[in-house]
Chains A and B, each alone.
Chain A
Amino acid sequence: MATFIRDPKTLGTHRQVDAQADPMPFYLAAGEQKQKNKGGGGDDGDGEKGEGGQKLAEKGDELKEEMDELLDEIDNVLEENAEEFVKNYVQRGGE
């Protein structure tokens, strides 16, 4: 799943989520996404109403859930004594 950290608010202004599923080399994927962005620019505004809008909203909910899940996991692993840890994290200068 490729979309965990994407903010629902900005969905659609980014590259198409589905582009991630394409089995192509990473360097081509980058170029491809760019093209889709350019080509898909008009869709973003239209997405507000009609069927597309609803789909977008559903997708948005899904993303929000994924985001919440991710943030839960961050809280699970985040150092408990964060403030203390950071205060003690003093390194000697290296090279």
Chain B
Amino acid sequence: MQKRIYGIETEYGIIFTPEGRKTLPVEKAIRFLFEKLITTEHFLNVFLENGARFYQDTGCHPEYATPECAAPGQLVIYDKAGERILEDLQIYAEEKIREERIPGKLSIFKNNTDFVGNSYGCHENYLVDRDVDFYYLAEQLIPFLVTRQIYTGAGKVFQTQDGIHYCVSQRAQHIYQKISGTTTNDRSIINTRDEPHADREKYRRLHVIVGDSNMSEYTNFIKVGTCSVVLQMIEDNYINKDFTLRNPVKAIKDITYDASCKRKIRLDNGREYSPIEIQREYCEMAQKYIEQYPVTDDHKKAVIMWQYVLDCLDTDPNKLDRQIDWIIKRKLIQSWVDRHKTDWSDPRVLMLDLQYHDIRRERSLYYLLERKGAVERLFTDEEVDAAKSTPPQDTRARMRGEFIKLARENSIQYDLDWSNIRLGNLLNVRVICNNPFETDTEKVAELVRTIQKTNLRKTSLSKLVIQS
């Protein structure tokens, strides 16, 4: 598929740190995040003006799902916009909590683990053609997904019995299966959840749950861009080599422990390759593929970056200390450790790791580097800010976003999911949009006009009330 829908769901870590004796359990703290949002939808589950969804997920994590995006670059912008939206909500929530006379700090982290073994995910979604055999697709994709962490990992300071170890990926240790149907226990590389939110005859959803949440725009872009190219190659039957791993779950853990990225892992056919070598094979195929097949500009960019990143990993990974999350963070911590003449077992090192991922920019170490120009950006603040309130113009999200604006302006009662809009006092008017590429906003505007004409009693959109 050349035209594809992309989406990322990010679960955030959240903690309230009281400054006095009074504290707030996280189940209550998280509710304050929703207080600024105005909607008639269910509490703790809201669609936003940019077409994204924001809700409370399993384990009391705030979760942001990007709107349907039509390109990897666009997706990275909307994922970043989610951080900004959450930052706004967090600042507002912190004030509100203070007004309740519970002084303290509400912190939100875009990472995937705490330090005692709990994990929360970052799920990539790719719309794929129903005609392609899913298990074939998954098997072909798994060796790629297992080894890609060398340039998509967000890095993690890991405490073991033997001391501190710096891992490439946040998520890798929490993967126990190749393919499975659950996401909370027995987490897998690929999840079989098949909710395309589109015509089921034509499409299915590929739900990749092995990835790390990325702070770096560069890392995030290359993560989605390369995966998307590989996906397209599989769909076109272009991959003519077999990288089936003997034990992908073991391999993913071995790779995350090996910051050299050069330790060999065993293939099913008995041969041994390093993750860099396997990635190089995919990358070389992709280079030929983009010469022969029609691909988007984002795909071409991704392949150029891919080769550059692999070259650096091969010769000197530290060259990527502006581009790749796990290397940026490692460099940051190492410099700090050197400065303080301490070592990695210093308890503050874990805090450095965590605070890299803080979404509040004034507290975040990633954003400190960004302000200093010490990380490479692909997009501008203007682009990210615009994406907070404007939906992508080339997917169904445009209709949803426009609708939400109109419904609010006209005080119309509504309820939404990805492919349905329900409106009117009884929510008895329903619009179904099964085509995620549909952008006909006039249809939506007409509907709103119809509702106005039928003279339905206007309901006022009441602000949500927090129950404490």
Contact = CB atoms under 8 A, between A and B. Distances in A.
Question: Do A and B bind?
Answer: yes
B365 interface: yes
Given A13-B316, A30-B308, A91-B114, A78 B348 contact: yes
A5 interface: yes
A65 interface: no
A1 B123 contact: no
A42 B14 CA distance: 50
B266 interface: no
A71 to B, nearest CB: 5
Given A27-B301, A91-B13, A95-B209, A7 B335 contact: yes
A92 B27 CA distance: 11
Interface in A15-74: 15, 25-28, 30-31, 33-34, 37, 66-68, 70-71, 73-74
Contacts, number: 147
A10 B373 contact: no
Nearest to A72: B339
B406 interface: no
Interface stretch (B32-40, B133-141, B350-358): B350-358
B118 A90 contact: yes
B372 A94 contact: no
A16 B378 CA distance: 20
Contacts of A31: 304, 308
A86 B119 contact: no
B311 A71 contact: no
B238 interface: no
Task: Kindly state the interface size class of chain A when it binds its partner.
Answer: 35 or more
Contacts of A91: 13-15, 59, 61, 113-114, 118, 120
The B contact surface, by secondary structure, is: mixed
B350 A4 contact: no
B399 to A, nearest CB: 27
A74 B348 contact: no
Interface residues of B, number: 60
A95 B123 CA distance: 9
A93 B308 contact: no
B319 A27 contact: no
B336 A95 contact: no
A15 to B, nearest CB: 7
Contact of A78 (B121, B318, B351): B351
Contact of A95 (B11, B14, B113, B309): B11
B365 A74 contact: yes
Contacts of A2: 322, 373-374
B154 to A, nearest CB: 15
Interface string B352-369: 101100000011010011
16 contacts: A1-B373, A5-B335, A6-B321, A7-B318, A30-B308, A33-B308, A77-B368, A82-B350, A82-B351, A83-B348, A86-B351, A90-B116, A91-B14, A94-B119, A95-B57, A95-B120
Interface of B: 11, 13-15, 17, 57-61, 63, 113-116, 118-121, 123, 183-185, 209, 218, 300-301, 304-305, 308-309, 311, 316, 318-319, 321-322, 328, 331-332, 335-336, 339, 347-348, 350-352, 354-355, 362-363, 365, 368-369, 372-374, 376, 378
Interface of A: 1-7, 10, 13-15, 25-28, 30-31, 33-34, 37, 66-68, 70-71, 73-74, 77-79, 82-83, 85-86, 88-95
Given A5-B321, A70-B374, A94-B120, 18 more contacts: A1-B372, A26-B218, A27-B301, A30-B308, A30-B309, A82-B347, A82-B350, A85-B17, A86-B354, A89-B13, A89-B114, A91-B15, A91-B120, A93-B120, A94-B58, A94-B61, A95-B123, A95-B183
